């Protein structure tokens, strides 16, 4: 029988763990508990709730206002892991500096990042956005149209990424990709990158931006990128979207061309 005094001596450890990992607890609460409760209460999915909020609070046809509404909902009401305003600045800067023509986005989710990318694109540029989940894609479609981007500008492809990437060349007539944004399943980063390499869509100077490489993290992806020598890799360190204390980062890869 362990005496109570020894159990009491573990109290500081408990407090330490609680204080040190408080952001993770907050994240757990907001991303899981609140979501389950709200799903049960409203009968709608999280994305639909977000879109309803955006519909009632944002100006249609104004991407900035829609993005703001999304940000507000995600930081104040509930939590959706969009790219967020802070990391979004990096994305905006990269797009503005390179003005890519063909952009591929893996993982549309509810359309936040698609709107963000489309906002900064030049005239004549085209965004292919891939989303696996049908209901999410519906919401994303509505959000994108609400922001005022038509089918020529943003093409939403409802399929899994490993099916879409080999078909991009034939079915969608993409010759080369100038910019790839990855924000889907972290486990799929590496296979999709290898698919992209194999498909010949990457050319020298293509920028690949991968979100959330530190938290939740894509270690295999990073390891591969560093070892392969095909990319110039740069890490943008930031905190996780809408939550301050969790470190996260985006990996910016520049394809150096096949060897």
Partner 1 sequence: MFLCYVLKTASHPFFLHNPFLYNFAVDYGGSSQKRETGTCHRVTRAGNSEGERGRKVTEEKSHRDKGRRGNIKERRKGIKEKYEVEDECDEDAPKRMKNRDNKKTRKNEEGEKSKRKTKIKNVKEGNDGESDDVKWGRSKKKEKAKKKKGKQELVEESSESESFSEGGELPEKKEGFTQEELEQLKEAVDEKRKLIITLKGKPWPMRKKLVTLRESQQFLEKYEGALGKGKGKRVYACKVIVMKKWMKFQRDLENFKTACIPWEMKIKDIESHFGSSVASYFIFLRWMYGINLILFGLTFGLVMMPEALMGKPYGSMPRKTVPRGEEGGAMDFAVLWDFGGYAQYSVLFYGYYNNQRAIGWLKFRMPLSYFLVGVGTVAYSYMVVIRTMARNANRDGGGDDTSFNFSWKMFTSWDYLIGNPETADNKFASITTNFKESIVEEQESQKDDNIHLTRFLRVLANFLVLCCLAGSGYLIYFVVRRSQKFALDGLENHSWWERNEVNMVMSLLGMFCPMMFDVISSLENYHPRIALQWQLGRIFALFLGNLYTFIIALMDEINRKRSEEDAVKLNMTAWEAGLYNGTSVGNASGPVPVHPADVPRGPCWETMVGQEFVRLIISDTMTTYITLLIGDFLRALFVRFFNYCWCWDLEYGFPSYSEFDVSGNVLGLIFNQGMIWMGAFYAPCLPALNVLRLHVSMYLQCWAVMCCNVPQERVFKASGSNNFYMAMLLVILFLSTLPAIYTIVTIPPSFDCGPFSGKNRMFDVIQETLETDFPAWFGKVFSYASNPGLVLPFILVMILAIYYLQSTSKTYKVANLDLKKKLQTQNEENKKKNKKAALKAAAELEEAKNAATCRQETECGESGQDRDITTSRQDRDITTSRQDRDAPSQQLSRGKASVNPLFPGLYTEMHLTGKQIRIPHIKRRAQQFLVVVKQMHILCAFALL
Q: Is there a contact between 252 and 234 (Cβ–Cβ < 8 Å)?
A: yes
Two tokens at 241?
Answer: 């979207």
Catalytic residues: 183, 186, 211-212, 241
Q: Which of 2, 134, 229, 259 binds partner 1 (CB under 8 A)?
A: 2
Quick check: 29 binds partner 1 (CB under 8 A)? no
- Residue 93 C-beta: closest distance to partner 1, Å: 20
Give the nearer residue to partner 1 in terms of CB position, either 242 or 255: 242
Q: Which residue is listed with tokens 């963000």?
A: 116
Alpha-carbon distance of 88 to 107, in angstroms, equals 15
Quick check: 243 binds partner 1 (CB under 8 A)? no
Q: Which of 27, 121, 138, 218 binds partner 1 (CB under 8 A)?
A: 218
Alpha-carbon distance of 231 to 42, in angstroms, equals 46
Q: Is there a contact between 106 and 193 (Cβ–Cβ < 8 Å)?
A: no
Backbone angles phi, psi at 42, to 5 degrees: -95, -25
Contact letters for partner 1, residues 177-196 (x by CB under 8 A): ---------x----------
Q: Is there a contact between 178 and 101 (Cβ–Cβ < 8 Å)?
A: yes
- Residue 3 C-beta: closest distance to partner 1, Å: 5
Contact positions vs partner 1 (CB under 8 A): 1-3, 5-6, 8-13, 15-16, 19-21, 24, 186, 213-220, 247
């Amino acid at each position: 029988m362990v005496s109570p005094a020894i159990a009491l001596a573990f109290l500081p450890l408990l407090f330490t763990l609680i204080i040190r990992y408080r952001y993770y607890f907050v994240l757990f609460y907001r991303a899981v508990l609140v979501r389950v409760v709200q799903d049960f209460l409203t009968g709608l999915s999280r994305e639909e709730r977000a879109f309803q909020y955006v519909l009632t609070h944002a100006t249609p046809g104004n991407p900035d206002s829609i993005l703001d509404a999304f940000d507000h909902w995600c930081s104040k009401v509930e939590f959706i892991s969009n790219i967020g305003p802070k990391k979004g600045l990096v994305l905006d800067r990269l797009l503005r500096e390179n003005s890519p023509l063909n952009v591929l986005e893996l993982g549309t989710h509810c359309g936040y990042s698609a709107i963000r990318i489309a906002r900064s694109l030049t005239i004549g540029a085209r965004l292919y956005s891939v989303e696996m989940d049908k209901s999410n894609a519906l919401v994303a479609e509505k959000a994108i149209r609400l922001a005022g981007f038509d089918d020529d500008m943003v093409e939403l492809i409802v399929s899994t990424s490993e099916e879409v990437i080999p078909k991009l060349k034939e079915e969608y007539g993409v010759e080369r990709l100038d910019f790839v944004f990855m924000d889907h399943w972290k486990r799929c980063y590496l296979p999709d990158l290898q698919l992209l390499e194999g498909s010949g869509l990457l050319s020298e100077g293509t920028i690949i931006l991968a979100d959330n490489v530190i938290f939740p993290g894509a270690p295999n992806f990073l390891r591969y990128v560093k070892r392969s020598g095909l990319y110039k890799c740069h890490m943008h360190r930031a905190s996780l979207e809408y939550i301050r204390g969790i470190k996260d980062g985006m990996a910016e890869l520049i394809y150096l061309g096949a060897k």
